[in-house]
Structure 1
Amino acid sequence: MLTAFARAFKTPDLRKKLLFTLGIIVLFRLGAHVPVPGIDYSNVQQCMDEAKSQQGLFGLVNMFSGGALLQITIFALGIMPYITASIILQLLTVVIPRLEALKKEGQSGQAKITQYTRYLTVALAILQGTGLVATARSGSLFQNCQVGNEIVPDQSIFVTITMVITMTAGTAVVMWLGELITDRGIGNGMSILMFISIAAGFPGALWAIRQQGKIMDGWLEFSLVIVCGLAMVALVVFVEQAQRRIPVQYAKRMIGRRSYGGTSTYIPLKVNQAGVIPVIFASSLLYIPALIAQFSGSDAEWAVWIENNFVTGDHPVYIVTYFLLIVFFAFFYVAISFNPEEVADNMKKYGGFIPGIRAGRPTAEYLSYVLNRITWPGSLYLGLIALVPTVALVTLNANQNFPFGGTSILIIVGVGLETVKQIESQLQQRHYEGFLR
């Protein structure tokens, strides 16, 4: 693998792409440490030191921003608004006929959908930035912090608007950097930035586990987490690469004097067809009642019950609800992202058929049957992986940023595999051996 890296850097055009990607990553990480104007940075750092393991409701967004959210930097919102906008547009494509027509138009239609995604990203950034500023002003961004109310000393309307505009502009810059990587670098830009944001928190989270450990000065817990993490990476790679290949045969057609078709191919149905989307959906949905209870400031029974069961993240009610939501959203997302009837119609149009299955409706029913069977283990796998941080929180007394598990490990392994495959394909075009053997 190291030899393949050396060969990649010896190729001039591939070296330029890799260096360009590394340069964008450096700019992205620098922006994650530049504070927003209007905050007291010393008080923010004091609150960070006092509440390292108490990130509460903002843990997911803080992870996607590479720790920039709780430090209230210009890239505090990170790529979360873009991810949310992309998911919303993807869901609306199924509901709104106009968006569905644009999706079928090819590259021109996809360019318009991308433009709509950018507009929605800016709108969501303004909304989330306003919420973050309001939370920082109220002092509820950090739990049990003595100087939490002094994070924003000047609470005038001008300073508030300046902070919101700065964070919204930071989100737009992050979106632009991601698109630059996609156009001129290696891999999908947004996925690379997401990968870097999550990986940036790994060293601190692992060292915190060592400091919180009690056996052999914490080194035993640290070693167990590393071994467990490697095993989980192997498991995620195995499941993410697993697929059910449905054979498809195309009949021969004579057009003039030439024969077309007669080839054999397959439809790859992944075990985890939904990816990490169900975990993000379930996490976001469970944050809503906790946010309502936190900002209501009410001492009613419903607010106390929500705070006791959903805020800590280790209550049995939270665990069961989280698991069931992941399973539900896995089936839901697969149902809207893969249409068996559309695939069956396209196969029938071009003379394709599954051996032993009649074309048309029987093919759609067969595809739906196979998809439902492989989605069950995929959804259960997602639920179990997502619960690993909760189990670590209880057993190892680790903080909620336990690295090997949940959304973080799924995204890191998935993005890593796709990026390596892209580098591999470019190396193979130049007759190199590449990464995979």
Structure 2
Amino acid sequence: KQAVGGVPVLVQAEQGEFLIRLLTIITLTTGTVFLMWIGELITEKGVGNGISFLIFIGCLDSIPKNIADTARLDKPWYVWIILIAIIIFTFAAMVLMTQATRKIPVQYPKRVIGRRIYGGQSTFIPLRLNTAGVIPIIFAQTLMSVPSTIARFALPETRIGEWITVWLGFGHPLYQILLGLLIIFFAYFYTSIVFNPQDLANNMKRMGGFIPGIRPGARTAEYINTVLSRITLPGAIFLAIVALMPSWIMGSLGVQFYLGGTTYLIIVGVALDTIQQIESHLLMRSYEGLLKGTKIRGRR
């Protein structure tokens, strides 16, 4: 046999199959570790999360091909108008849901320490409608792909395997219902992991802060948890709609929709976070320049 580039490789058929698998594993592992290293460098010396930025670049790279594949479809003009309107509306909804927050007012009492007065200010706790981001969709889709994968490899050409492949295949109503329920479940589950109302309430109590009309401590934690549970539901339903949107479009319009909602949710989320961090860096630099100018004038 001869490898790519003209280098002869003398192996038997069995050895060749084993070497191909071994080289594939080594290549994928090495590439993954290298990308993790690049991501850490971007996080340390760049702007934003490096791993998220690499995923963002990968999603952008797939857009031209997806648009070209969708444009090759032979459909009436009104189908394309409906499709473009759905895409524009979805993008606007993604930006709105990603930026939407519920602000809980917090007040800090005045404290006299020596001759100075501290506190006496009002602020707020921003709670996002979509605190979990795109993670619930990834978890749910990964979990839903497990039965079909096992059926293809462990139960080929059997009734049970065929039943699992058909009923839990992409586009089947049972698959869509289970996927939507799993997304809602993981949205609540992941939000409870990344956001702890009890710790927030304890920190507020330690600093003397309180929510108007709510007692500090356990009552504050219960109130924050109640508000967070209420606003997580519309965010979770929105994630389920985004994940199931390609299947609905294919079923209603008869279009093989290559533009996945999850991909564009990642693009919108990472882009907005990067823009916010760039604005924060520019604001900090402007403050640093103002402070330096004040120091120079003071010396003069």
User: 2:93 — aligned with what?
Assistant: 235
User: 1:424 — aligned with what?
Assistant: 279
Instruction: Point out the structure with max Rg over C-alpha.
Output: 2
In structure 2, what residue type is equivalent to 1:278?
P
In structure 2, what residue type is equivalent to 1:303?
G
Q: How does 1:37-48 map to 2 (within 5 A)?
A: none
Q: Point out where structure 2 has 5 or more consecutive residues left out of the alignment.
A: 6-12, 287-300
Q: Is the 8 A contact 1:253 1:260 kept in 2?
A: yes
Quote how far apart the aligned CAs of 1:185 are: 2.6
Among 157, 177, 181, the alignment partner of 2:38 is 177
Aligned-residue Cα RMSD (Å) equals 2.4
* Residues 1:212 and 2:73 aligned together: yes
User: 2:220 — aligned with what?
Assistant: 363
Among 44, 58, 61, the alignment partner of 1:197 is 58
* Residues 1:329 and 2:186 aligned together: yes
Distance in 2 separating the partners of 1:38 and 1:394:
45
**Deviation string for 1:45-66 (max 9, x for gaps)?**
xxxxxxxxxxxxxxxxxxxxxx
Provide the TM-score with structure 2 as the length reference.
0.85
CA distance 1:387–1:178, change in 2 (3 Å): same
Q: How does 1:43-192 map to 2 (within 5 A)?
A: 155-192=16-53
Q: How does 1:318-357 map to 2 (within 5 A)?
A: 318-357=175-214
Quote how far apart the aligned CAs of 1:187 are: 2.5
Q: Is the 8 A contact 2:47 2:274 kept in 1?
A: yes
* Residues 1:393 and 2:250 aligned together: yes
User: 1:295 — aligned with what?
Assistant: 153
CA distance 1:256–1:232, change in 2 (3 Å): same
Among 107, 112, 129, the alignment partner of 1:271 is 129
Distance in 1 separating the partners of 2:117 and 2:253:
65
User: 1:84 — aligned with what?
Assistant: none
Q: Is the 8 A contact 2:249 2:255 kept in 1?
A: yes
Distance in 1 separating the partners of 2:201 and 2:282:
36
Distance in 1 separating the partners of 2:247 and 2:3:
36
Quote how far apart the aligned CAs of 1:205 are: 1.2
Partner SS for 1:275: coil
User: 2:114 — aligned with what?
Assistant: 256
Distance in 2 separating the partners of 1:372 and 1:351:
25
**Deviation string for 1:362-381 (max 9, x for gaps)?**
11111111111111111111
Partner SS for 1:245: strand
CA distance 1:316–1:293, change in 2 (3 Å): same
Quote how far apart the aligned CAs of 1:339 are: 1.5
Quote how far apart the aligned CAs of 1:382 are: 1.0
In structure 1, what residue type is equivalent to 2:205?
K
Number of paired residues? 278
User: 2:143 — aligned with what?
Assistant: 285
Percent of pairs with identical residues: 44
Provide the TM-score with structure 1 as the length reference.
0.59
Higher relative CO (Cα under 8 Å, sequence separation at least 6) belongs to 2
Quote how far apart the aligned CAs of 1:273 are: 1.4
Quote how far apart the aligned CAs of 1:157 are: 2.9
Distance in 2 separating the partners of 1:38 and 1:368:
60
